[in-house]
Structure 1
């Protein structure tokens, strides 16, 4: 992906479809539309997956809780959501095998009756997932459970039910979608903000006024397209009202936070589903990138101009929820990092609590402005959501073209073989953990990253100790993956920011030096980039310290 070329195309060409928003929904729509032969533009005001799409629980699933609610409340909408999720789960896994993989999950139980209840429920989950490649659920004995997860409280434990879902690196998966869209012909640019729409005499959208956010006082220009699609997630109402101020609000943002703890807290490569919480939801404890990810919460959020961050009461809730299952209670001082994200929930009734809202989606067409908005949804069903959206685009553009994304392998998934890490280790003389990391994150293109260590031997060095990230990745991410800022690299293309704030702070100056060389930053620009990112990390750490986390 080349941002300069993308900007040139956006200024000069006229498009069939312009998609606004570079999260999973927007990138998914862009790829779908391009594969159907449309001329497509994809723009993102921040970075790909910068908001909701990088701040998920990293699960690909149908929704165990939705299944339970469907049968308890005879709610067939929830059942439909589970069915779609399980159908799409297999596609997400197969189209990017380097970024998504099966994940075993344990549900510890404290009595025979609990074990029977969850065993039956998860057998039903298996039934709706029939035909896919994941192993089926089974009821484990206490001994089997403790062998798989030795940190559990053996005195309380009766047994556990084991089942399988999928896990993904959400930010890099979204990036692979955007990258695949670019390679399919889409004109792509991140850090390009919509200022306003241009309209014809009848109020129909004809253009999008945009400007780069990377330069001060950047000159605005207009993207011309026949159809505009709004894929901006939790902020979708802002664009809807720009297009047509008479529309009513549709999105009910919900805040969800995660904390990151040391791997040793759970001591397992299995994840844990905690089926009972004090507010009637579920919580997951999941191994991710050598750490333990614990989340999530579910509360209303209205301050859309502010990034959601960890609050003390939320951390207490998550740790209090996990503690009864473990022999040793986790301590707030063990929290290494954390993050907050927003779910773009669709609310029919303002009195509904966010945890009762279905994670469903809707493709809305405003006849006055001709804006199409993809509202709501969840990560697992991004492809299905995109398919419905581009189906609608076909109708509006007066053509009929079939979706081709179900078996379209994403960037890095072509001819992927995990065992190729051994070749990388041998050929480029890299440590075992580094070679495995490169294969898992770049797939069949890991060789392109490793080859950079021959261009400059210093680029084989780690960014920080105890993590497998190397300097060559930063260079590759700038050259090939449209990384423009330190946070683009450290939060999304690498996941260091969400794993360990202190490690990210240590790596920042090294990343800044590498990016400055590649992007031609002046000393002042490099210092400005570094200071901005370090101030952000400092605010996260300071907030944690106020909450007694460190």
Structure 2
């Protein structure tokens, strides 16, 4: 993806559809539209997957909680959502096998009855999933459960094992956008919509501002599709100020703990909390992500962050399930996201449906894809582009169900050995490159031949090498430090201290490739490290870390 070339296209061409928002739904819609042969523009005011889509629980699932509510309340809408999610779970993994895989989850229970109840529910879950390649779950006795996850409390009666999917959300959205680009879409990040021009009662032009250069210009398209998730109302009201708001934002946060907390390749599902939520503890690399919360969120201009009360809540939730509860000073990072719940009369965000809707505003002609969740992004995108097709008078059908994403077409994890033979890189680096870039890993490794200095690891604690930064700039449209450290890699999400430590090295690589002068480079380092320190302070962890150091 070449940002400059694509930006020129935006200024020169008339597009069939301009998609605003490059998260899961927007990038998915761009790929769907491009594969149907439409001329597609995809823009975002930040990075690709810069907001909600990169801050999920990293699970691909039908929704165990939705199934329970569907059965208890005989709610067919909830049941439909579960079936959609389970059907799409297979597709998400098939189309990008380097970024997604099945994951075992344990649910500890404290009585025979509770175990039976959970087993029946999860058997129903498997039934609705149909015949797929996921392993089948089972009810484990206490000894078997402790073998799989040795840190569980000895107070449990047994545990129920089941399977869902896990994925790297930010890189999955990036693969969607990259695939759309290769299918002909003009993809540009850091381009904010500032207004619209209408002719004959329909939007014909979007006015945009480049967030990197402050330059303004216009994009012409026959149809405009709003895929901005929790920020959808901002675009809707920009197109038509008389519209009512449709989105009720909900904040969900995760805290990050060392992997030793679970000492397992399995995740843990906590099926009931004091306030009726579901919480997961999920291994991700060498960490465990614990979340999520679910609270109303009103200030969309502020990035959602991990706060002290949320840490307390998540630690309290873990306490009954582990033999030893983690301390606050073991929290190494955290992240927050905003769910785009569709507004309804329900007062509790935990009960709001996360199904989606494609809205057409007859006054402006704007289409808006509202609601939804990661697992069903492809169906959401298909529904939205079907509506675009209606507006264009086209009969082209979606072909995304069996379309491999960038990196996935010929991916085999075992090929890390071929990578090692050809480029003489360490095992951990070769495996990391395969799991991150799929069948494009060789393109990254080839840079180390052209410039041997790019073979160097940036830290002994991770298999990241300098060549990746160059590849991410040239091929994946990375233009800021956070693009690399938070989204192309997931380091910011998992370890604030290590992220701050390697920021100067990453900045120097970016400066050399992008032509940053010394003053600008120092400014970027200062700004990003200040941001990381603010995360620590807002989580209330600075005092905890000082106390732990003194001890």
Kindly indicate whether residue 221 of structure 2 is the aligned counterpart of residue 222 of structure 1: no
Separation of aligned partners in 2, 1:422 and 1:492? 26
Separation of aligned partners in 2, 1:428 and 1:152? 42
Separation of aligned partners in 2, 1:364 and 1:549? 47
2:19/2:26 contact within 8 Å kept: yes
2:329/2:541 contact within 8 Å kept: no
1:334/1:549 contact within 8 Å kept: no
Separation of aligned partners in 2, 1:292 and 1:457? 34
Query: 1:213: how far off?
Result: 0.4
Query: 1:205: how far off?
Result: 0.4
Query: 1:546: how far off?
Result: 5.3
Pairwise mapping of residues 120-519 of structure 1 onto structure 2 (< 5 A)?
120-154=120-154, 156-200=155-199, 202-215=200-213, 218-349=214-345, 351-519=346-514
- 1:397-426 deviation per Cα after TM superposition (whole angstroms, max 9, x unaligned): 111111000000000001100001112223
Query: 1:542: how far off?
Result: 2.0
Kindly indicate whether residue 111 of structure 2 is the aligned counterpart of residue 111 of structure 1: yes
Query: 1:184: how far off?
Result: 0.2
1:335/1:549 contact within 8 Å kept: no
SS at match of 2:282: strand
Bigger shift: residues 203-212 or 32-41 = 203-212
1:311/1:547 contact within 8 Å kept: no
- 1:87-109 deviation per Cα after TM superposition (whole angstroms, max 9, x unaligned): 00000000000000000000111
- 1:163-187 deviation per Cα after TM superposition (whole angstroms, max 9, x unaligned): 0000000000000000000000001
Q: Which runs of 5+ in 1 are unaligned?
A: none
2:307/2:540 contact within 8 Å kept: no
Bigger shift: residues 454-463 or 22-31 = 454-463
- 1:219-255 deviation per Cα after TM superposition (whole angstroms, max 9, x unaligned): 2110000000000000100000011111100000000
Aligned length: 545
Separation of aligned partners in 2, 1:371 and 1:175? 25
Separation of aligned partners in 2, 1:132 and 1:205? 44
2:99/2:171 contact within 8 Å kept: yes
- 1:358-385 deviation per Cα after TM superposition (whole angstroms, max 9, x unaligned): 1111000001100000000000000000
Query: 1:347: how far off?
Result: 1.7
SS at match of 1:47: coil
Partner of 2:518: 523
Separation of aligned partners in 1, 2:422 and 2:184? 33
1:273/1:285 contact within 8 Å kept: yes
> Closer, same or farther in 2 for the Cα pair 1:205/1:424, shift >3 Å?
same
> Closer, same or farther in 2 for the Cα pair 1:418/1:5, shift >3 Å?
same
Query: 1:435: how far off?
Result: 1.1
Bigger shift: residues 418-427 or 387-396 = 418-427
Separation of aligned partners in 1, 2:485 and 2:407? 20
1:425/1:432 contact within 8 Å kept: yes
SS at match of 2:62: coil
Partner of 1:29: 29
Bigger shift: residues 271-280 or 459-468 = 459-468
SS at match of 1:406: helix
Separation of aligned partners in 2, 1:338 and 1:175? 22
Separation of aligned partners in 1, 2:401 and 2:174? 18
Q: Which runs of 5+ in 2 are unaligned?
A: 546-551
Separation of aligned partners in 1, 2:371 and 2:377? 10
Separation of aligned partners in 2, 1:358 and 1:548? 39
2:305/2:539 contact within 8 Å kept: no
Separation of aligned partners in 2, 1:546 and 1:130? 45
Query: 1:194: how far off?
Result: 0.6
Separation of aligned partners in 2, 1:529 and 1:42? 26
Separation of aligned partners in 1, 2:311 and 2:397? 46
Separation of aligned partners in 1, 2:537 and 2:388? 46
- 1:378-399 deviation per Cα after TM superposition (whole angstroms, max 9, x unaligned): 0000000000000111111111
